[in-house]
Amino acid sequence: MFLSLARVSKLALQQFHRNLWLSIATISLLMLSLLSINLIIVLGAVGQAAKLAVQDKIDVSVYFKSKVDNEQVEEIRADLLKLNEVSAVEYIPKEGSLARFKERHKDDPVILESLQELNENPFGATLAVKAKDSEQYPRIIAFLEDAKYEDLIEEKNFDDHEFVIKKINALMRNIRTFGLTVASIFGLIAILVVINTVRVAVYTHRGEIGVMRLVGASNWFIRGPFLFEALIFSFTATVLTAAVVYLGFNFAQPYLNNLFEGIKLSLTSYYNSNAATIFGLQFLAIFFLTAVSSFFAVRRYLKV
Amino acid sequence: MINLHNVTKTYPPNTVAIKNVSFEVKPGEFVSIVGQSGTGKSTVMKLLIAEELATEGQVKIGGWDITRIRSAAVPALRRQIGVVFQDLKLLPSMTAYENVAFALQVVGAPSQRISEVVPQVLKIVGLEDKTDRYPIQLSGGEAQRVVIARALVHRPKLFLADEPTGNLDTLNTREIIDILTKINSFGTTVVLVTHNREVVNQLRRRVIAMDHGEIISDQENGKYTL
Ligand SMILES: Nc1ncnc2c1ncn2[C@@H]1O[C@H](COP(=O)(O)OP(=O)(O)OP(=O)(O)O)[C@@H](O)[C@H]1O
Ligand SMILES: [Mg+2]
């Protein structure tokens, strides 16, 4: 068993070597399909980070009328916190709203002066509500639309961010579709190339194969070198892809650092923590692909 | 050893290579099959090693009905038959020794057995002193003897040779036939396909003559009568 394995792998290496250029072409195509898959993964991670960055900034700001006193607002806050969808509610009392306003307009003397002329604080308290998920905001808004709050609330705003999230989601969907299309095209080409590679290998080894068949080598022994070659192809393509991917990260990381304020996106550490899964699955997928193509190509050209 | 019963082989779509062929070969016999080109001699040989399957009739080897043999069982059959075919040459990248050893390697023979058997069979064909030569460094007759040695590695009970003397001159042809006779004298059944009148006439063994896919004569101590 072990002996046969050694002999099969020797034949496979010989086969790989004899059709070196074809082997390189095959591996390159497998790499292209793997790279496009990794691009989807990376863009997915970037998109996720972008979503988090935006989501972090989103809240529903509820501005209460100035006649509403702080205790009432505290009660509403408690009600909101009871909602499943709500993750946090920041409470800014009347005084805080005033201070915020002053801070925001500190360079605008006209506004500050007119504020001075009013005798009392014109602002009501503010609640900044954060949802657990960006899709849950509409329900929070609906909750606040209840008639019993109508008199108390001056204004609530939300829209902008939802739009951005929708945009990001749509973009990510498009990227994924596009990436999968590209990956499938490369995958398809890779299958055709593998089939052709096997055909050429069968042709260049017709002497050996003829002898093997007539002296009674088992079908698996005849197929072995081709399967082993598929293994070499897949393994090499996966390792080289991983190398290219990590190299790419080194170049991209400086740009990513400044991409989203507040969110640190390290692709390297994202990949590191998932490397076994990401590359393991990619290797298995591509080995499955090449092995099956090779299996059928051998059957087609060998009658085994 | 061999039993063909009303065997017909049709290659798709409609080439009838042999029709209703029946014959029996007993263990230890030496049989020559002769006939014009395209009369189905090679087809008979291919049926015997299940390279092709019969369209009709029954093919038995050593009592084993291989008419509808499963492809997984074919290797087991071939390990019992030594085969020398026209289109099955030596591998040019290997020496005589390696060519013979290869046939054992690919069936999973242990290295020890390989280093035992290979010199033995090369000795049977009289090439023990040229084992390290590449095919290109061997004469046509020598190369063919290596091919025969390779077919002997499994100590076959049945030896099939399809035109083993194809392009050889009289002297080399003699040598090859002598080796086949020697193999037969060890008790191995030999089936030889040949065009060579002299060979058949000198052998004085059984001759099966074929024409247009049918057996037209089958004689002990036969002569080449076409
Ligand atoms: N694989 C094949 N497909 C279709 N037809 C075939 C095939 N092999 C052989 N034939 C046909 O079957 C017939 C018998 O061929 P076969 O090779 O058995 O003849 P042969 O007696 O060995 O001839 P030769 O003496 O020239 O070797 C021929 O007409 C040939 O063209
Ligand atoms: Mg023939």
Q: Indicate if B62 and B168 belong to the same structural domain.
A: yes
B107 in contact with A at a CB cutoff of 8 Å? Answer: yes
Q: pLDDT band for B153, please (50, 70, 90 cuts).
A: very high
Does the pLDDT value for residue B10 go beyond 80?
yes
More reliable by pLDDT, A135 or A170 = A170
Q: What's residue B103's pLDDT?
A: 93
| Residue B126 near residue B11, CB atoms below 8 Å | no
Pocket flag, ligand 1, residue B40 (CB < 6 Å) = yes
Q: Indicate if B4 and B69 belong to the same structural domain.
A: yes
Considering only CB atoms, A207 lies closest to which of B77, B80, B91, namely B91
Percent of chain A with pLDDT over 90: 6
Q: How does pLDDT run across B46-90, given as a tens digit for each residue?
A: 999 999 999 999 999 998 999 999 988 999 999 999 999 877 789
Q: Indicate if B70 and B162 belong to the same structural domain.
A: yes
Average pLDDT over residues A20-38: 87
Q: Indicate if B1 and B17 belong to the same structural domain.
A: yes
Q: Which domain holds residue B126?
A: 90-155
Q: How does pLDDT run across A85-140, given as a tens digit for each residue?
A: 888 888 888 888 788 777 777 778 888 888 777 777 777 888 888 777 767 777 77
Q: Indicate if B57 and B34 belong to the same structural domain.
A: yes
Q: Indicate if B119 and B73 belong to the same structural domain.
A: no
Q: Do A215 and B153 touch (CB under 8 A)?
A: yes
Does the pLDDT value for residue B17 go beyond 70?
yes
Q: Indicate if B69 and B105 belong to the same structural domain.
A: no
Average pLDDT over residues A23-52: 84
Choosing from B155, B190, B206, the residue where a domain stops is B155
Provide the domain count of chain B: 2
Q: What's residue A58's pLDDT?
A: 66
For chain A, what is the mean pLDDT? 81
Q: Side by side, which strands form the sheet with A60-64?
A: A86-92, A126-131, A60-64, A153-157
Mutate to test the pocket of ligand 1, among B11, B16, B165 (most ligand atoms within 8 A of CB): B11
Q: Indicate if B172 and B199 belong to the same structural domain.
A: yes
Q: pLDDT band for A57, please (50, 70, 90 cuts).
A: low
Q: Please tell me whether residue B90 adopts helix, strand or coil conformation.
A: coil
Choosing from B132, B155, B178, the residue where a domain stops is B155
Does the pLDDT value for residue B130 go beyond 90?
yes
Q: Indicate if B50 and B136 belong to the same structural domain.
A: no
Q: What's residue A125's pLDDT?
A: 82
What residues in A contact B115, CB-CB < 8 Å? none
Rounded Cα distance between B96 and B138, Å, is 9
Does the pLDDT value for residue A304 go beyond 60?
no
Q: Indicate if B1 and B76 belong to the same structural domain.
A: yes
Q: pLDDT band for B9, please (50, 70, 90 cuts).
A: very high
Rounded Cα distance between A225 and A214, Å, is 17
The domains located in chain A, with CATH, are 2-54+166-299 (no CATH), 66-151 (3.30.70.3040)
DSSP structure class, residue B40: S
Q: Indicate if B120 and B186 belong to the same structural domain.
A: no
Contacts of A105 (CB under 8 A, 6+ apart): A111, A112
Q: Indicate if B69 and B175 belong to the same structural domain.
A: yes
Does the pLDDT value for residue A160 go beyond 60?
no
Q: What's residue A298's pLDDT?
A: 81
Rounded Cα distance between B116 and B97, Å, is 12
Q: What's residue A68's pLDDT?
A: 79
Choosing from B99, B127, B155, the residue where a domain stops is B155
Average pLDDT over residues A53-65: 74
Q: How does pLDDT run across A239-285, given as a tens digit for each residue?
A: 999 999 988 888 877 777 766 666 667 778 888 888 888 899 989 98
For ligand 1, atom 26, the nearest C-alpha belongs to: B37
Report yes or no on B85 lying in a domain: no
